[in-house]
Structure 1
Protein backbone atom coordinates (compact mmCIF):
# COMPACT_ATOMS: atom_id res chain seq x y z
CA UNK A 1 0.00 0.00 0.00
CA UNK A 2 1.46 3.34 -1.09
CA UNK A 3 0.14 6.57 0.44
CA UNK A 4 2.07 9.05 -1.69
CA UNK A 5 0.31 9.90 -4.93
CA UNK A 6 1.89 12.31 -7.40
CA UNK A 7 4.56 14.93 -6.78
CA UNK A 8 5.56 16.01 -3.27
CA UNK A 9 7.39 19.22 -2.40
CA UNK A 10 9.99 18.01 0.09
CA UNK A 11 10.65 21.61 1.17
CA UNK A 12 7.07 22.17 2.35
CA UNK A 13 3.89 20.23 1.69
CA UNK A 14 0.72 18.90 3.33
CA UNK A 15 -0.49 15.49 2.18
CA UNK A 16 -4.03 14.23 2.74
CA UNK A 17 -3.96 10.52 3.55
CA UNK A 18 -6.92 8.17 4.04
CA UNK A 19 -5.68 6.27 7.10
CA UNK A 20 -6.67 2.60 7.03
CA UNK A 21 -8.19 0.89 10.05
CA UNK A 22 -5.62 -0.77 12.32
CA UNK A 23 -2.80 1.65 11.52
CA UNK A 24 -1.49 4.12 14.09
CA UNK A 25 -0.76 7.65 12.94
CA UNK A 26 2.93 6.91 13.61
CA UNK A 27 2.71 3.84 11.34
CA UNK A 28 1.51 6.05 8.48
CA UNK A 29 4.23 8.65 9.06
CA UNK A 30 6.90 5.94 9.06
CA UNK A 31 5.53 4.41 5.86
CA UNK A 32 5.44 7.76 4.09
CA UNK A 33 8.93 8.60 5.32
CA UNK A 34 10.10 5.46 3.56
CA UNK A 35 8.19 6.31 0.39
CA UNK A 36 9.54 9.86 0.27
CA UNK A 37 13.04 8.60 0.96
CA UNK A 38 13.07 7.23 -2.56
CA UNK A 39 12.80 10.78 -3.90
CA UNK A 40 15.30 12.47 -1.59
CA UNK A 41 18.72 13.56 -2.76
CA UNK A 42 21.91 13.50 -0.72
CA UNK A 43 21.41 17.20 0.15
CA UNK A 44 17.80 16.82 1.36
CA UNK A 45 17.95 13.43 3.06
CA UNK A 46 18.85 14.74 6.51
CA UNK A 47 16.71 17.87 6.26
CA UNK A 48 13.24 16.61 5.39
CA UNK A 49 11.08 16.43 8.51
CA UNK A 50 7.81 14.51 8.41
CA UNK A 51 5.00 14.47 10.98
CA UNK A 52 1.23 14.43 11.19
CA UNK A 53 -1.30 17.13 11.92
CA UNK A 54 -3.32 15.34 14.59
CA UNK A 55 -3.62 11.74 15.77
CA UNK A 56 -6.28 9.30 14.62
CA UNK A 57 -6.90 6.25 16.82
CA UNK A 58 -6.00 2.87 15.26
CA UNK A 59 -9.68 1.85 14.95
CA UNK A 60 -10.49 5.06 13.06
CA UNK A 61 -10.10 5.79 9.35
CA UNK A 62 -10.07 8.90 7.20
CA UNK A 63 -8.25 12.18 6.89
CA UNK A 64 -4.75 12.22 8.36
CA UNK A 65 -2.69 15.25 7.39
CA UNK A 66 0.97 14.47 6.80
CA UNK A 67 3.23 17.50 7.26
CA UNK A 68 6.37 17.57 5.14
CA UNK A 69 9.38 19.84 5.60
CA UNK A 70 8.56 23.37 6.76
CA UNK A 71 4.89 22.42 7.12
CA UNK A 72 5.83 20.65 10.37
CA UNK A 73 6.33 24.12 11.88
CA UNK A 74 2.59 24.73 11.43
CA UNK A 75 1.53 21.91 13.75
CA UNK A 76 0.33 24.20 16.55
CA UNK A 77 -1.84 26.08 14.05
CA UNK A 78 -3.14 22.98 12.28
CA UNK A 79 -4.18 21.19 15.45
CA UNK A 80 -6.63 24.04 16.19
CA UNK A 81 -8.53 23.54 12.93
CA UNK A 82 -12.08 22.23 13.03
CA UNK A 83 -12.54 18.54 12.29
CA UNK A 84 -15.49 16.64 10.85
CA UNK A 85 -16.29 13.01 11.63
CA UNK A 86 -18.87 10.35 10.95
CA UNK A 87 -19.17 8.06 13.98
CA UNK A 88 -21.14 4.92 14.69
CA UNK A 89 -22.13 4.64 18.34
CA UNK A 90 -23.08 1.23 19.71
CA UNK A 91 -25.58 1.43 22.54
CA UNK A 92 -25.89 -1.09 25.34
CA UNK A 93 -22.19 -1.85 25.86
CA UNK A 94 -19.36 0.13 27.45
CA UNK A 95 -15.66 -0.70 27.01
CA UNK A 96 -12.49 0.21 28.88
CA UNK A 97 -11.27 2.37 25.99
CA UNK A 98 -14.56 3.74 24.66
CA UNK A 99 -13.93 2.01 21.34
CA UNK A 100 -14.14 -1.57 19.96
CA UNK A 101 -10.55 -2.38 20.99
CA UNK A 102 -11.27 -2.33 24.72
CA UNK A 103 -12.74 -4.94 27.04
CA UNK A 104 -16.48 -4.79 27.64
CA UNK A 105 -17.15 -3.47 31.14
CA UNK A 106 -20.94 -3.14 31.13
CA UNK A 107 -23.89 -4.31 29.08
CA UNK A 108 -27.54 -3.41 29.30
CA UNK A 109 -30.61 -4.22 27.20
CA UNK A 110 -31.59 -1.46 24.77
CA UNK A 111 -35.28 -0.87 24.20
CA UNK A 112 -37.41 1.99 23.01
CA UNK A 113 -34.71 4.39 21.85
CA UNK A 114 -36.63 6.80 19.64
CA UNK A 115 -35.19 9.24 17.13
CA UNK A 116 -36.64 12.22 19.02
CA UNK A 117 -34.90 11.14 22.22
CA UNK A 118 -31.55 10.77 20.46
CA UNK A 119 -31.88 14.14 18.75
CA UNK A 120 -32.64 15.76 22.12
CA UNK A 121 -29.50 14.18 23.58
CA UNK A 122 -27.43 15.49 20.68
CA UNK A 123 -28.83 18.99 21.16
CA UNK A 124 -27.79 18.85 24.81
CA UNK A 125 -24.20 18.17 23.73
CA UNK A 126 -24.07 20.93 21.12
CA UNK A 127 -21.86 23.91 21.95
CA UNK A 128 -19.25 24.05 24.71
CA UNK A 129 -19.16 21.44 27.46
CA UNK A 130 -16.70 19.99 29.96
CA UNK A 131 -15.60 16.65 28.53
CA UNK A 132 -13.90 14.05 30.67
CA UNK A 133 -10.55 12.94 29.29
CA UNK A 134 -10.61 9.17 28.56
CA UNK A 135 -8.59 6.90 30.84
CA UNK A 136 -6.79 5.56 27.78
CA UNK A 137 -5.27 8.78 26.46
CA UNK A 138 -1.86 10.45 26.29
CA UNK A 139 -2.81 13.22 28.73
CA UNK A 140 -0.46 13.39 31.71
CA UNK A 141 -1.59 13.32 35.35
CA UNK A 142 1.12 13.62 37.97
CA UNK A 143 3.75 13.36 35.26
CA UNK A 144 2.49 10.03 33.91
CA UNK A 145 0.43 9.24 30.82
CA UNK A 146 -3.13 8.23 31.63
CA UNK A 147 -2.94 5.17 29.38
CA UNK A 148 0.11 3.94 31.32
CA UNK A 149 -1.71 4.37 34.64
CA UNK A 150 -4.77 2.60 33.24
CA UNK A 151 -2.70 -0.36 32.06
CA UNK A 152 -1.19 -0.62 35.55
CA UNK A 153 -4.68 -0.69 37.03
CA UNK A 154 -4.18 2.57 38.91
CA UNK A 155 -7.29 4.67 39.42
CA UNK A 156 -6.91 8.44 39.16
CA UNK A 157 -9.32 11.33 38.94
CA UNK A 158 -9.74 12.00 35.24
CA UNK A 159 -9.47 15.68 34.29
CA UNK A 160 -12.12 17.52 32.32
CA UNK A 161 -11.51 19.91 29.46
CA UNK A 162 -13.76 22.33 27.65
CA UNK A 163 -14.54 21.19 24.12
CA UNK A 164 -16.83 22.57 21.45
CA UNK A 165 -19.29 20.55 19.40
CA UNK A 166 -20.13 22.94 16.58
CA UNK A 167 -22.49 20.64 14.70
CA UNK A 168 -23.91 17.22 15.48
CA UNK A 169 -26.67 15.49 13.58
CA UNK A 170 -28.23 12.07 13.59
CA UNK A 171 -27.60 10.37 10.26
CA UNK A 172 -29.07 6.95 11.00
CA UNK A 173 -30.62 4.96 13.85
CA UNK A 174 -30.95 1.21 13.57
CA UNK A 175 -31.30 -1.20 16.46
CA UNK A 176 -28.37 -0.84 18.84
CA UNK A 177 -26.42 1.55 16.60
CA UNK A 178 -26.71 5.21 15.74
CA UNK A 179 -24.61 7.13 13.24
CA UNK A 180 -23.81 10.81 13.75
CA UNK A 181 -21.98 13.49 11.79
CA UNK A 182 -19.94 15.78 14.02
CA UNK A 183 -18.04 19.03 13.46
CA UNK A 184 -15.92 19.85 16.50
CA UNK A 185 -13.15 22.08 17.73
CA UNK A 186 -9.67 20.91 18.71
CA UNK A 187 -9.12 18.61 21.66
CA UNK A 188 -12.43 16.76 21.37
CA UNK A 189 -12.25 13.04 22.11
CA UNK A 190 -14.73 11.30 19.83
CA UNK A 191 -14.56 8.10 21.90
CA UNK A 192 -15.67 10.09 24.92
CA UNK A 193 -18.39 11.83 22.92
CA UNK A 194 -19.83 8.38 22.17
CA UNK A 195 -19.82 7.61 25.90
CA UNK A 196 -21.43 10.97 26.64
CA UNK A 197 -24.19 10.35 24.09
CA UNK A 198 -24.88 7.07 25.86
CA UNK A 199 -25.04 8.79 29.24
CA UNK A 200 -27.62 11.24 27.88
CA UNK A 201 -29.69 8.20 26.89
CA UNK A 202 -29.04 6.46 30.25
CA UNK A 203 -27.19 3.67 28.45
CA UNK A 204 -23.63 2.36 28.27
CA UNK A 205 -22.11 3.09 24.86
CA UNK A 206 -18.89 3.18 22.87
CA UNK A 207 -17.62 4.31 19.47
CA UNK A 208 -17.93 1.27 17.19
CA UNK A 209 -16.56 2.99 14.08
CA UNK A 210 -15.08 6.39 13.33
CA UNK A 211 -14.16 8.14 10.10
CA UNK A 212 -12.62 11.61 9.90
CA UNK A 213 -13.89 13.30 6.76
CA UNK A 214 -12.29 16.73 7.05
CA UNK A 215 -9.56 18.71 8.83
CA UNK A 216 -9.86 22.46 8.25
CA UNK A 217 -10.34 22.82 4.50
CA UNK A 218 -8.60 19.52 3.74
CA UNK A 219 -10.75 16.53 2.81
CA UNK A 220 -10.40 13.36 0.79
CA UNK A 221 -10.59 13.84 -2.97
Structure 2
Protein backbone atom coordinates (compact mmCIF):
# COMPACT_ATOMS: atom_id res chain seq x y z
CA UNK A 1 0.00 0.00 0.00
CA UNK A 2 1.67 3.17 -1.25
CA UNK A 3 -0.41 6.12 -0.05
CA UNK A 4 -0.34 9.41 1.84
CA UNK A 5 -2.59 9.61 4.90
CA UNK A 6 -3.95 13.01 5.92
CA UNK A 7 -4.04 12.51 9.69
CA UNK A 8 -5.68 14.81 12.22
CA UNK A 9 -3.05 14.45 14.95
CA UNK A 10 -4.39 14.50 18.48
CA UNK A 11 -3.19 16.59 21.41
CA UNK A 12 -0.17 15.37 23.43
CA UNK A 13 0.88 12.91 20.73
CA UNK A 14 4.32 13.19 19.15
CA UNK A 15 4.58 13.08 15.38
CA UNK A 16 6.61 9.87 15.61
CA UNK A 17 3.99 8.23 17.85
CA UNK A 18 1.39 9.13 15.21
CA UNK A 19 3.52 7.55 12.48
CA UNK A 20 3.88 4.36 14.53
CA UNK A 21 0.12 4.18 15.12
CA UNK A 22 -0.73 4.65 11.41
CA UNK A 23 1.91 2.11 10.45
CA UNK A 24 0.24 -0.41 12.77
CA UNK A 25 -3.26 0.32 11.42
CA UNK A 26 -2.24 -0.25 7.79
CA UNK A 27 0.21 -3.07 8.60
CA UNK A 28 3.03 -1.61 6.48
CA UNK A 29 6.80 -1.88 6.78
CA UNK A 30 7.74 1.73 6.14
CA UNK A 31 6.16 5.03 7.17
CA UNK A 32 7.28 8.61 7.69
CA UNK A 33 5.79 12.07 8.13
CA UNK A 34 6.16 15.21 6.02
CA UNK A 35 6.68 17.91 8.64
CA UNK A 36 6.72 17.66 12.44
CA UNK A 37 3.89 18.87 14.65
CA UNK A 38 4.69 19.60 18.31
CA UNK A 39 2.91 17.39 20.88
CA UNK A 40 0.82 20.40 21.98
CA UNK A 41 -0.28 21.04 18.39
CA UNK A 42 -3.10 19.23 16.61
CA UNK A 43 -4.28 19.01 13.02
CA UNK A 44 -2.92 18.03 9.63
CA UNK A 45 0.04 15.64 9.69
CA UNK A 46 0.85 13.90 6.40
CA UNK A 47 2.01 10.32 6.89
CA UNK A 48 3.52 8.56 3.88
CA UNK A 49 3.44 4.76 3.61
CA UNK A 50 5.91 2.43 1.88
CA UNK A 51 7.05 4.05 -1.41
CA UNK A 52 5.39 7.22 -0.17
CA UNK A 53 8.33 7.72 2.20
CA UNK A 54 10.31 8.78 -0.88
CA UNK A 55 8.13 11.86 -1.43
CA UNK A 56 8.03 13.34 2.09
CA UNK A 57 10.41 16.16 1.14
CA UNK A 58 8.22 17.24 -1.77
CA UNK A 59 5.21 17.51 0.56
CA UNK A 60 7.09 19.18 3.42
CA UNK A 61 7.90 22.08 1.07
CA UNK A 62 4.21 22.96 0.66
CA UNK A 63 2.77 26.12 2.24
CA UNK A 64 1.07 25.70 5.62
CA UNK A 65 -1.89 27.27 7.42
CA UNK A 66 -2.40 27.36 11.19
CA UNK A 67 -4.83 28.69 13.76
CA UNK A 68 -2.82 29.80 16.78
CA UNK A 69 -3.95 31.02 20.20
CA UNK A 70 -1.51 32.98 22.33
CA UNK A 71 -1.55 34.37 25.84
CA UNK A 72 -0.26 37.92 26.35
CA UNK A 73 1.49 39.05 29.53
CA UNK A 74 3.86 36.12 30.12
CA UNK A 75 6.85 34.50 28.42
CA UNK A 76 8.11 30.92 28.75
CA UNK A 77 11.40 29.23 27.88
CA UNK A 78 9.72 26.94 25.32
CA UNK A 79 7.54 29.75 23.89
CA UNK A 80 4.47 27.60 24.68
CA UNK A 81 2.35 26.48 27.64
CA UNK A 82 4.60 23.49 28.32
CA UNK A 83 7.53 25.62 29.47
CA UNK A 84 8.59 27.48 32.59
CA UNK A 85 7.49 31.10 32.93
CA UNK A 86 10.53 33.35 32.42
CA UNK A 87 8.84 36.75 32.46
CA UNK A 88 5.59 38.35 33.55
CA UNK A 89 4.32 41.83 32.66
CA UNK A 90 3.03 44.05 35.46
CA UNK A 91 0.31 45.38 33.18
CA UNK A 92 -1.10 44.15 29.84
CA UNK A 93 -2.37 47.35 28.22
CA UNK A 94 -2.80 45.87 24.76
CA UNK A 95 -5.67 47.02 22.56
CA UNK A 96 -7.04 45.36 19.45
CA UNK A 97 -5.54 48.19 17.38
CA UNK A 98 -2.05 47.82 18.89
CA UNK A 99 -2.19 44.05 18.43
CA UNK A 100 -3.21 44.36 14.78
CA UNK A 101 -0.40 46.87 14.23
CA UNK A 102 2.09 44.38 15.70
CA UNK A 103 0.73 41.56 13.55
CA UNK A 104 1.18 43.68 10.44
CA UNK A 105 4.95 43.72 10.94
CA UNK A 106 5.13 39.99 10.34
CA UNK A 107 3.66 39.60 6.87
CA UNK A 108 5.89 39.03 3.87
CA UNK A 109 9.49 37.79 3.97
CA UNK A 110 10.83 38.03 7.51
CA UNK A 111 13.90 36.95 9.48
CA UNK A 112 12.94 34.59 12.30
CA UNK A 113 15.11 33.17 15.09
CA UNK A 114 14.12 29.55 15.85
CA UNK A 115 13.33 28.68 19.49
CA UNK A 116 15.90 26.82 21.59
CA UNK A 117 13.30 24.10 22.09
CA UNK A 118 13.39 22.88 18.48
CA UNK A 119 14.72 19.89 16.55
CA UNK A 120 17.31 21.96 14.67
CA UNK A 121 20.73 20.31 14.94
CA UNK A 122 23.84 22.01 16.31
CA UNK A 123 27.02 19.94 15.96
CA UNK A 124 24.93 16.78 15.77
CA UNK A 125 22.72 17.59 18.77
CA UNK A 126 19.15 18.85 18.67
CA UNK A 127 18.73 22.30 20.21
CA UNK A 128 16.03 21.03 22.59
CA UNK A 129 18.57 18.57 24.06
CA UNK A 130 20.93 21.45 24.82
CA UNK A 131 18.05 23.53 26.20
CA UNK A 132 17.12 20.75 28.63
CA UNK A 133 20.71 20.86 29.91
CA UNK A 134 20.34 24.58 30.55
CA UNK A 135 22.54 25.48 27.59
CA UNK A 136 21.47 28.30 25.29
CA UNK A 137 23.33 28.84 22.02
CA UNK A 138 23.11 31.56 19.40
CA UNK A 139 20.67 30.72 16.60
CA UNK A 140 21.01 32.27 13.19
CA UNK A 141 17.86 33.97 11.87
CA UNK A 142 16.10 32.13 9.07
CA UNK A 143 14.21 33.73 6.22
CA UNK A 144 10.58 32.59 6.10
CA UNK A 145 7.50 33.90 4.34
CA UNK A 146 4.23 34.71 6.09
CA UNK A 147 1.58 35.26 3.44
CA UNK A 148 -1.11 36.49 5.81
CA UNK A 149 -2.05 36.89 9.48
CA UNK A 150 -5.73 37.33 10.30
CA UNK A 151 -6.88 38.21 13.81
CA UNK A 152 -9.83 35.92 14.56
CA UNK A 153 -10.44 36.67 18.23
CA UNK A 154 -9.11 38.98 20.93
CA UNK A 155 -10.09 38.93 24.59
CA UNK A 156 -7.29 39.79 26.99
CA UNK A 157 -5.04 38.09 27.75
CA UNK A 158 -5.75 35.76 24.79
CA UNK A 159 -5.70 36.28 21.03
CA UNK A 160 -6.29 33.89 18.13
CA UNK A 161 -4.91 34.30 14.62
CA UNK A 162 -4.97 32.41 11.33
CA UNK A 163 -1.50 32.28 9.76
CA UNK A 164 -0.58 31.24 6.21
CA UNK A 165 3.16 30.65 5.95
CA UNK A 166 6.04 28.87 4.28
CA UNK A 167 7.91 25.76 5.31
CA UNK A 168 10.21 26.34 8.27
CA UNK A 169 8.09 28.96 10.03
CA UNK A 170 8.01 28.53 13.80
CA UNK A 171 4.64 29.67 15.15
CA UNK A 172 6.03 29.63 18.69
CA UNK A 173 8.72 32.12 17.66
CA UNK A 174 6.09 34.24 15.91
CA UNK A 175 3.98 34.41 19.07
CA UNK A 176 7.03 35.16 21.24
CA UNK A 177 8.15 37.94 18.89
CA UNK A 178 4.67 39.51 18.81
CA UNK A 179 4.63 39.57 22.62
CA UNK A 180 8.10 41.12 22.70
CA UNK A 181 7.05 43.83 20.23
CA UNK A 182 4.08 44.68 22.44
CA UNK A 183 6.37 44.81 25.48
CA UNK A 184 4.36 42.27 27.49
CA UNK A 185 5.55 38.85 26.32
CA UNK A 186 3.42 36.04 24.90
CA UNK A 187 3.40 32.28 24.46
CA UNK A 188 1.36 29.75 22.49
CA UNK A 189 -1.52 28.07 24.32
CA UNK A 190 -3.09 26.31 21.34
CA UNK A 191 -2.04 25.47 17.79
CA UNK A 192 -3.94 23.71 15.00
CA UNK A 193 -2.46 23.06 11.56
CA UNK A 194 -5.43 23.46 9.25
CA UNK A 195 -3.77 22.98 5.87
CA UNK A 196 -0.67 21.71 4.08
CA UNK A 197 -0.94 22.63 0.41
CA UNK A 198 -4.22 21.09 -0.75
CA UNK A 199 -4.55 18.80 2.29
CA UNK A 200 -7.15 20.26 4.66
CA UNK A 201 -8.23 19.58 8.22
CA UNK A 202 -11.81 19.02 7.00
CA UNK A 203 -10.66 15.97 5.03
CA UNK A 204 -8.22 14.67 7.65
CA UNK A 205 -8.95 11.54 9.68
CA UNK A 206 -8.34 10.80 13.34
CA UNK A 207 -6.70 7.51 14.26
CA UNK A 208 -10.14 6.16 15.21
CA UNK A 209 -11.47 6.98 11.72
CA UNK A 210 -8.72 5.07 9.93
CA UNK A 211 -8.63 3.23 7.61
CA UNK A 212 -12.30 3.84 6.70
CA UNK A 213 -12.33 7.61 6.00
CA UNK A 214 -11.31 7.43 2.34
CA UNK A 215 -11.18 11.22 1.90
CA UNK A 216 -8.02 11.14 4.03
CA UNK A 217 -6.26 8.57 1.83
CA UNK A 218 -4.38 9.78 -1.24
CA UNK A 219 -2.47 8.03 -3.99
CA UNK A 220 1.08 9.30 -4.50
CA UNK A 221 0.05 10.78 -7.85
CA UNK A 222 -2.81 12.71 -6.22
CA UNK A 223 -0.58 13.81 -3.35
CA UNK A 224 1.90 15.25 -5.86
CA UNK A 225 -0.74 16.95 -8.03
CA UNK A 226 0.91 20.32 -7.35
CA UNK A 227 3.88 19.22 -9.48
CA UNK A 228 3.77 19.45 -13.29
CA UNK A 229 4.01 16.14 -15.16
CA UNK A 230 6.30 14.94 -17.92
CA UNK A 231 5.54 11.84 -20.02
CA UNK A 232 8.43 9.51 -20.84
CA UNK A 233 7.97 6.70 -23.36
CA UNK A 234 9.69 3.78 -25.08
CA UNK A 235 13.46 3.51 -24.87
CA UNK A 236 13.66 6.80 -22.98
CA UNK A 237 11.50 5.29 -20.25
CA UNK A 238 13.79 2.27 -19.88
CA UNK A 239 16.88 4.48 -19.72
CA UNK A 240 15.35 6.81 -17.17
CA UNK A 241 14.28 3.95 -14.89
CA UNK A 242 17.90 2.81 -14.99
CA UNK A 243 18.98 6.22 -13.75
CA UNK A 244 20.17 7.70 -17.03
CA UNK A 245 19.50 11.42 -17.71
CA UNK A 246 17.33 12.29 -20.69
CA UNK A 247 17.87 15.12 -23.16
CA UNK A 248 14.56 16.89 -23.65
CA UNK A 249 13.10 17.73 -27.05
CA UNK A 250 12.26 21.33 -27.94
CA UNK A 251 8.54 20.67 -27.57
CA UNK A 252 8.73 19.39 -23.99
CA UNK A 253 7.45 21.85 -21.35
CA UNK A 254 10.15 23.19 -19.03
CA UNK A 255 9.88 23.38 -15.24
CA UNK A 256 12.36 24.93 -12.81
CA UNK A 257 11.34 22.61 -9.96
CA UNK A 258 10.55 18.92 -9.52
CA UNK A 259 8.15 17.16 -11.91
CA UNK A 260 6.05 14.01 -11.83
CA UNK A 261 7.39 11.42 -14.24
CA UNK A 262 4.75 9.28 -15.98
CA UNK A 263 4.98 6.46 -18.48
CA UNK A 264 3.02 6.24 -21.74
CA UNK A 265 -0.01 4.82 -19.89
CA UNK A 266 -0.08 7.77 -17.48
CA UNK A 267 1.25 5.81 -14.51
CA UNK A 268 3.53 7.63 -12.08
CA UNK A 269 6.99 6.07 -11.89
CA UNK A 270 9.12 8.76 -10.31
CA UNK A 271 10.00 12.35 -9.58
CA UNK A 272 12.49 14.16 -11.75
CA UNK A 273 14.09 17.55 -12.14
CA UNK A 274 14.93 19.48 -15.28
CA UNK A 275 18.22 21.34 -15.61
CA UNK A 276 18.30 23.28 -18.86
CA UNK A 277 17.49 20.62 -21.48
CA UNK A 278 18.40 17.62 -19.29
CA UNK A 279 15.84 15.65 -17.26
CA UNK A 280 17.15 13.58 -14.36
CA UNK A 281 15.28 11.20 -12.09
CA UNK A 282 15.47 12.01 -8.36
CA UNK A 283 13.14 9.38 -6.94
CA UNK A 284 12.23 6.10 -8.64
CA UNK A 285 8.86 4.86 -7.39
CA UNK A 286 7.89 1.20 -7.56
CA UNK A 287 4.09 1.40 -7.72
Give TM-score, length-normalised by structure 2: 0.68
Structure 2 unmatched runs, 5+: 204-287
In the TM superposition, structure 1's runs of 4+ consecutive aligned residues that sit over 6 Å from their partners are: none
After TM superposition, list the pairs within 5 Å mapping 1:29-108 onto structure 2: 29-37=19-27, 48-108=29-89
**Correspondence for 2:16 among 13, 26, 43:** 26
- Aligned with 2:5 (options 9, 15, 26): 15
User: What is the correspondence of 1:120-159 to structure 2 with a 5 Å cutoff?
Assistant: 120-159=101-140
| Cα distance, 1:110 vs structure 2 | 3.8
1:195 aligns with 2:176: yes
d(CA) in 2 for partners of 1:142, 1:49: 28
Partners of 1:63 and 1:214 within 8 A in 2: yes
Determine the structure 1 residue equivalent to 2:165.
Answer: 184
Higher relative contact order (CA 8 A, sep 6+): 1
Residues in 2 aligned to 1:144 and 1:14: alpha-carbon distance in whole angstroms: 30
Deviations 1:153-187 (A, max 9, x none): 12311221111111101111001000000000000
Between 1:88-97 and 1:101-110, the stretch displaced more is: 101-110
SS of aligned partner of 2:90: coil
SS of alignment partner, residue 189 of structure 2: strand
More off after superposition, 177-186 vs 116-125: 116-125
Residue 141 of structure 1 and its aligned partner are, at CA, apart by 2.0
Alignment length (residue pairs)? 202
- Alignment gaps of 5+ in structure 1: 1-9, 38-44
Equivalent position SS for 1:28: helix
After alignment, is 109-118 or 160-169 more displaced?
109-118
Alpha-carbon shift at residue 111 of structure 1 (Å)? 3.1
RMSD: 1.2
Question: Matches of 2:18 and 2:58 in 1, distance apart?
Answer: 21
